[in-house]
């Protein structure tokens, strides 16, 4: 498989531009927390010949493909099979950190992974196929209330209760094992007027994927850990593809870029100064041109921040063995 045939890195030029000031010096380390097929990493290794890369991914197929793609960079590249909430162990003193969140091009394009509601496949949806619960198991074992809650929370789906009820009723006679079966059931459960507003499966599939991979809880741990691990002057760039992800990133960046001085303090002491400064003004979108040529760039929201100072917590983390 040629990764260039199925993978167009989203907002590549902007990512390079934002990370560049932190990667100019010899010995700079870039951590790609969501390596995927290595498109962003390849561009950054080429652009900055003195940097080293640590690439993380939970998907063994992605690591294999990225390893082949990046082999020409030799010992400048270290690849790690891990979920990115372990980033604190691999990014101590990093100069730059990149997150490209959500489901990858590889996972979407390989029908047998079960991520795409437009393709019939086993209901797997695990980003790491070596461990964890599958979407099929979620649909078979979760109670009606549990299913409703994940559809509401992770899919922001207005018909959550209706869909959960239909799923529980259907599985009593026939287990749901394939994505096509689930899509047919959701279409059956959706009033015609609602179907005209968008595909009934979109939000349910998003919710199942997030639940199977614990994406939001992992992200909630990973972003603060990455910010703690960064070196002073280091930069973090995060691309999100849905509002729940972007909200977590925004909250972490906003908290870190605010003063912690008590109200009314006449002079801000150094220990109360912001730890970070945001580089982007809010969340940046892909250009109209990129959205036209690469549909996967349409929902992206990019945020970036630069580390201004260490705190005792950061130093304690970096001193751990």
For residue 129, the enclosing domain spans 111-213
> CB atoms < 10 A from the CB of 50, how many?
11
Specify the pLDDT at position 239: 98
The CATH number for 292's domain is 3.40.50.150
Are residues 172 and 29 located together in one domain of the fold?
no
Helix (H) / strand (E) element for 250: namely helix 243-256
Domain boundary among 176, 191, 213: 213
Are residues 94 and 226 located together in one domain of the fold?
yes
Domain boundary among 213, 246, 269: 213
The CATH number for 166's domain is 1.10.150.170
Are residues 115 and 209 located together in one domain of the fold?
yes
Domain boundary among 192, 213, 234: 213
Domain count, the chain: 2
Are residues 149 and 66 located together in one domain of the fold?
no
Specify the pLDDT at position 313: 60
Do 235 and 91 contact (CB within 8 A), yes or no? no
Binding residues for S-adenosyl-L-methionine: 38-40, 57, 84, 100, 107
Specify the pLDDT at position 151: 97
Q: Which residues of 283-309 are buried (b: 16+ CB within 10 A; e: fewer)?
A: bbebeeebbeebebbebbbbbbbbbee
Binding residues: 38-40, 57, 84, 100, 107
Specify the pLDDT at position 318: 55
Are residues 208 and 221 located together in one domain of the fold?
no
Are residues 230 and 101 located together in one domain of the fold?
yes
Smallest CA-to-CA distance from 33 within 64, 12, 56 is with: 56
Are residues 76 and 141 located together in one domain of the fold?
no
Specify the pLDDT at position 259: 80
Do 93 and 318 contact (CB within 8 A), yes or no? yes
- Name the burial class of residue 145, with classes exposed (0-12), middle (13-18) and buried (19+) by CB atoms within 10 angstroms of its CB: exposed
Are residues 236 and 248 located together in one domain of the fold?
yes
Tell me the mean pLDDT per 10 residues along the chain, length 321: 64 98 96 96 97 96 95 98 95 97 77 83 92 96 98 96 98 95 95 82 94 96 97 98 96 92 69 91 96 94 96 60 55
Specify the pLDDT at position 116: 82
Are residues 196 and 224 located together in one domain of the fold?
no
Specify the pLDDT at position 194: 83
Are residues 220 and 314 located together in one domain of the fold?
yes
Specify the pLDDT at position 49: 97
Smallest CA-to-CA distance from 63 within 120, 152, 128, 134 is with: 128
Are residues 265 and 250 located together in one domain of the fold?
yes
Specify the pLDDT at position 45: 98
Smallest CA-to-CA distance from 18 within 127, 114, 116, 96 is with: 96
Are residues 236 and 163 located together in one domain of the fold?
no
């Amino acid at each position: 498989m040629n990764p260039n045939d199925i993978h167009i890195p989203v907002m590549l030029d902007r990512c390079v531009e934002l990370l560049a000031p932190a990667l100019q010096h010899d010995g700079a380390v870039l951590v790609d927390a969501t390596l995927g097929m290595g498109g962003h990493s390849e561009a950054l290794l080429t652009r900055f010949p003195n940097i080293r890369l640590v690439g993380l991914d939970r998907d063994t197929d992605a690591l294999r493909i990225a390893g082949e793609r990046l082999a020409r960079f030799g010992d400048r590249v270290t690849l790690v099979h891990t979920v990115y909430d372990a980033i604190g162990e691999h990014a101590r003193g990093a100069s730059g950190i990149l997150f490209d969140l959500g489901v990858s091009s590889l996972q979407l394009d390989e029908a047998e992974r079960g991520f795409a509601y437009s393709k019939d496949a086993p209901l797997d949806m695990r980003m790491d196929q070596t461990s964890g619960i599958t979407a099929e198991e979620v649909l078979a074992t979760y109670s009606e209330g549990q299913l409703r809650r994940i559809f509401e929370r992770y899919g922001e789906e207005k018909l959550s209760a209706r869909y959960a009820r239909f799923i529980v009723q259907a599985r009593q006679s026939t287990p749901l094992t394939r994505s096509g079966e689930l899509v047919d059931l959701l279409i059956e459960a959706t009033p015609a007027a609602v179907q005209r507003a968008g595909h009934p499966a979109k939000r349910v599939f998003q919710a199942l994927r997030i639940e199977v991979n614990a994406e939001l809880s992992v992200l909630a741990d990973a972003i603060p850990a990455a910010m703690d691990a960064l070196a002073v002057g280091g930069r973090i760039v995060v691309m999100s593809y849905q509002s729940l992800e972007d909200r977590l990133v925004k909250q972490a960046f906003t908290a870190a870029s605010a003063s912690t001085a008590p109200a009314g303090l006449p002079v801000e002491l150094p220990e109360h100064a912001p730890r970070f400064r945001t580089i982007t003004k809010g969340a940046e979108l892909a250009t109209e041109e990129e959205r036209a040529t690469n549909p996967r760039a349409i929902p992206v929201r990019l945020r970036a921040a630069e580390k201004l100072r260490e705190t005792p917590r950061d130093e304690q983390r970096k001193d751990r063995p």
